[in-house]
Structure 1
Amino acid sequence: MARSLSLAAYRALSRHRHEPSEGQSEPPRPEGELVWAHAGDPARLVALGDLAERLKLIRPGVQVLLTHDGSAPPDKIAHARRGGDWVAALTTDHPSSALQFLAHWTPNLCLWTGAGILVNTVSATAETGIPMILADIDSADFHHRRHNWLPTLKRASFDVFDTIFACTDASAREIVRLGIAGAKVRVTARLRGCPTPPLCTDDDLAEITTDLAGRPVWLAAHIRRDEIAAVLAAHRTALRLSHRLVLIATLADRADSEELVRALRQSRLRFANWDNGDRLDDNIQVLICDSGEDLGLWYRTAPLCFLASSLTPGHGGINPYDAASLGSAILFGPNVRDHLELYERLTKAGAARKITDSTNLAAALVELVAPDKAAAMALAGWEIATEGAELTDTLIELVQTRLDAAGADHARP
């Protein structure tokens, strides 16, 4: 009774609020299965974009609608679009808006992450009978202002979900204390970004491994024009102590390839161009690539990588996830604002090291380029990169199970 009264009160008050205007028209609802996933903050939107990308690889034909709380910046939205077929803000909880949203999209499953539950929206969704999953709930989510104005509304907000994933034992206990059945609640790791690493062919990996013949190798990835001189200077310095050392150099912008070649010639470094089909022989000191299209190969080849676009201001750094997940120890510059949180976690775990100039870079190369030296860093990086995979894998498995059980009941012909 308390649950129905709290929901009824909330709905009644919601109806007296100004109904939002229609705004932009929605794109057509596609045929077939549609998974709707909502992110309570920008970090969760990134993680759901990665989850959607993996789900679509495993389950061809499924479509994914990603919604968020309206706070996501453009770069997070762009990342989410790699997996989501549609990405849109969902901020209103007016009862009529909720019904219009559901009538248009008719999702086959709802996956909600984090705080800020739109009570009218999720309760209307539950009334359609589709599977509903609530994930990545921690103690902070219990104190979100949206849940606190009616004592029993918090319970009602949570109880519409079939399965709830808490981040800690403590948050799971709080959920159960609300009156939620313990059988609904499971404890898992946090939901974190977990993009699909770039691939490479076995033939290419075998070829480059044969050509290297055991030589020490390091990778400089996404080099900017204003970083070329520092990278080559560090390599020349390291060559004095490691004479067989090979640098694999990939550019952030293919337009800088002529500048890289000019700098290599000026530095008197012997080089080959992978994209032109050149082979790596014993005399080659630098293997250049005009773009990052083969980074899946190079991260698997090099035990140590310098993630460029970070030495000089203005570039923001690149996402270190791929390098960490594919077993490469990481060096990076001081300008990584776009992915600062992940670099800090990797550094704290001993998986990454910050350098400030070519001298620091050269010293780190000499110390870490041997595979056994970089192995501990690489293992720590792999553990950080894969810690978010636990919940992602669990959610993908559960989504597939629920969709299979529901069959095509909600899919349009």
Structure 2
Amino acid sequence: MPGSLVLGAYLALAALGGGRSEAEPPRPDGSLLWVHLDGVARLPSLIALTEQLPADVSILVTLPRGTDLPPTTGRMILRHVPHEGGGSVQAFLDHWTPDALLWVGGGLRPALLAKARMPKLLVEGAPDPQIMMRGAGWPWLARSVVPFFDRALVAGDAAAERLARAGLSDDRLEIAGSLDAPAPVLPCNERERRDLAQSLGARPVWLAGDLPLAELPSIVAAYLHASRTAHRLLLILAPRHADEAPAFARALNDAGLRVAERAEGDEPEDGTQVYLADGPSEMGLWLRLAPLAYLGGTLTDGAGGRHPFEAAALGSVLIHGPVTMPHAAAWARLDAAGAARVILNGAELGRAVEALLAPDKAAAMAHAGWDVATQGAEVANRVADLIRVSLAHPAPSGPAAEAPALANPASA
């Protein structure tokens, strides 16, 4: 087969390449799961996943060479992935003797995968211009390497089709979402939530949360626009920095808005237009009271910004500006699912608030956002199940070996 010949040529050339074996720390006793990540940004997802694995399973984590390795934490051992060349791969495998491999995203390494004789699970990987370390210079290589995996979980039909074209059989393919860390459930005081909800009654409410002071003019403009049609509209405003709350209060009063300040013990009365929180510490409360939320820092080039899954997991309909870093991937997924709306300025924000206060539109968006935000937990559960099966059947695997008995979705 052309693929086998190409893989043989690649492995022969890799054996002649450079790359010395590195000193490794001792291998822990017992079962060892080897996880390869394409970057440190994946670590929070992995940490959440490992909480579902038996406590006696140790985790060896490899990251691309050149990555700054975070300190070893808990039962995780963090190392650089070995060189493809020379005897580095075999020395690495002989030392660690992993019982199963979870490969998450990134480019595949043919020499490493060809010699790794243990159950192998691929998550969020598919043949694209980045998947093979040597790129398009090795035609047919993907068709020789991809079948080494016993199962692949990919997000979407396009990725599944690419893996199928690379030779992975349908019974080893599974459509799943991204392996995300679960969205944190923001706490709130239930008694306060209940009392405030009773006080607000049927008033339309929206939230501008984690708001930098620079964005306040846009929020005021949006409120004035939306309040023309939304009778008795209430804005809950949570500043990003607690020490800026007095400056927010002055600016809101100067704009002619009737403000109630939580720091002063005020409650939102019937004539209150803005309820000013005293900082970001009660976001869980505000998100439960306001079905519609604009998350701050996305209209200006501000640093940071809250992860949108916090709000989406609580059923909030989300609005954001064009500045989505450092959570661009999460925002893109929410946008694609129809769970968020992007705006460019205060005028567009006002029109978006006006439109999305309609319950019929909000319900569909909120449900879509909840699906996206909680999908990672479902995928983590599935991956954890497959890992447990793999660790229970640590037999050699590969294109010529029978795949371990990883449960099909229908029987899981």
Instruction: Give the TM-score normalised by structure 1.
Output: 0.73
Q: Which residue of 1 aligns with 2:357?
A: 369
CA distance in 2, matches of 1:105, 1:251: 50
What are the equivalent positions in structure 2 for 1:387-402 lying under 5 Å apart? 391-402=379-390
Q: Does 1:230 align with 2:224?
A: no
Secondary structure, counterpart of 1:140 in structure 2: coil
Aligned counterparts, 1:150-189, within 5 A: 154-165=142-153, 168=157, 170-175=161-166, 178=167, 183=171, 185-189=172-176
| Structure 2 runs not aligned, ≥5 long | 395-412
Q: Does 1:98 find its partner at 2:96? A: no
Instruction: Check 1:11–1:235 CA distance in 2 against 1; reply closer, same or farther (3 A cut).
Output: same
Structure 1, residues 355-391: CA drift from partner, whole Å, max 9, x if none?
A: 2333332333233224344223223333444566664
Determine if the alignment matches structure 1 residue 295 to structure 2 residue 266. Answer: no
Measured in 2, the distance between the counterparts of 1:285 and 1:405 equals: 63
Partner of 1:37: 35
Q: Map 1:107-146 onto structure 2 (within 5 A).
A: 107-114=98-105, 116-126=107-117, 129=118, 131-140=119-128, 144=132, 146=134
Cα distance in 2 for residues equivalent to 1:332 and 1:243: 23
8 Å CA contact retained: 1:317, 1:335: no
- Measure, in 2, the Cα distance between the counterparts of 1:219 and 1:198: 18
Deviations 1:229-281 (A, max 9, x none): 3324433554454453332222333443342243344445322327x876555
CA 149–353 in structure 1, closer or farther in 2 if over 3 Å, else same: closer
- Cα distance in structure 2, aligned partners of 1:292 and 1:33: 43
1:196 alignment partner in structure 2: 183
8 A Cα contact 2:204 2:357, kept in partner: yes
The one-character-per-residue Cα deviations of 1:133-175 (angstroms, maximum 9, x if unpaired) are 1233435279736377667754553344332345535335324
The alpha-carbon deviation at position 132 of structure 1 amounts to 2.0
Partner of 2:245 in structure 1?
Answer: 257
CA distance in 2, matches of 1:337, 1:230: 20
Work out whether residues 56 and 63 of structure 1, in 8 Å CA contact, stay in contact via their aligned partners in 2: no
Distance 1:217 1:104, change over 3 A: farther
2:190 and 2:124 map into 1 onto residues whose CA distance is 40
2:19 is aligned to 19
- After TM superposition, give the deviation of residue 292 of structure 1 in Å: 3.7
Offset of residue 98 of structure 1: 3.0
The Cα offsets for residues 53-96 of structure 1, whole Å up to 9 and x where unpaired, read as: 43244347466554444698x9xx99xx9999566653732354
Q: Are 2:234 and 1:246 aligned?
A: yes
User: 5+ unaligned residues in a row in structure 1: which ranges?
Assistant: 407-413
1:382 to 354, 370, 383: 370
Q: Which residue of 2 aligns with 1:411?
A: none
Deviation at 1:118, TM superposition (A): 1.8
Aligned partner letter, 1:37? V
The equivalent residue for 1:409 is none
Q: Give yes or no for the alignment of 1:212 onto 2:200.
A: yes
- 8 Å contact from structure 1 (residues 303, 371) kept in 2: no
SS state of the match for residue 18, structure 1?
A: coil
Q: Are residues 32 and 119 of structure 1, via their aligned partners in 2, closer, same or farther at CA, if it must alter by over 3 Å?
A: same
Q: Tell me how far apart the structure 1 counterparts of residues 242 and 199 of structure 2 sit (CA, whole Å).
A: 25
Residue 308 of structure 1: aligned partner: 296
Amino acid at match of 2:219: V
User: Taking structure 1 as reference, are residues 356 and 215 closer, same or farther at Cα in structure 2, changes over 3 Å only?
Assistant: same
Q: Displacement of 1:216 after TM fit? A: 1.8
8 Å contact 1:331–1:355 — kept in the other structure? yes
Give 2:259's aligned residue: 270
Q: Paired residue for 1:52, among 46, 54, 69?
A: 46
Distance in 2 between residues matched to 1:257 and 1:106, nearest whole Å: 57
Q: Is the 8 A contact 1:95 1:121 kept in 2?
A: no
Is the CA contact 2:45–2:179 (under 8 Å) kept in the aligned structure 1?
no
- Secondary structure of residue in 2 paired with 1:249: strand
TM-align CA RMSD: 4.4
Q: Percent identity?
A: 33
- Structure 1 residues 116 and 232, CA gap change in structure 2 (3 angstroms): same
* 1:149/1:240 CA distance change after superposition, 3 Å: closer
Given that residues 260 and 276 in structure 2 are in contact (C-alpha distance below 8 angstroms), is that contact kept between their aligned partners in structure 1? yes
Residues in 1 aligned to 2:295 and 2:368: alpha-carbon distance in whole angstroms: 17
More helix by share: 1
Letter in 2 for 1:36: W
* 8 A contact 1:36–1:109 mirrored in 2: yes
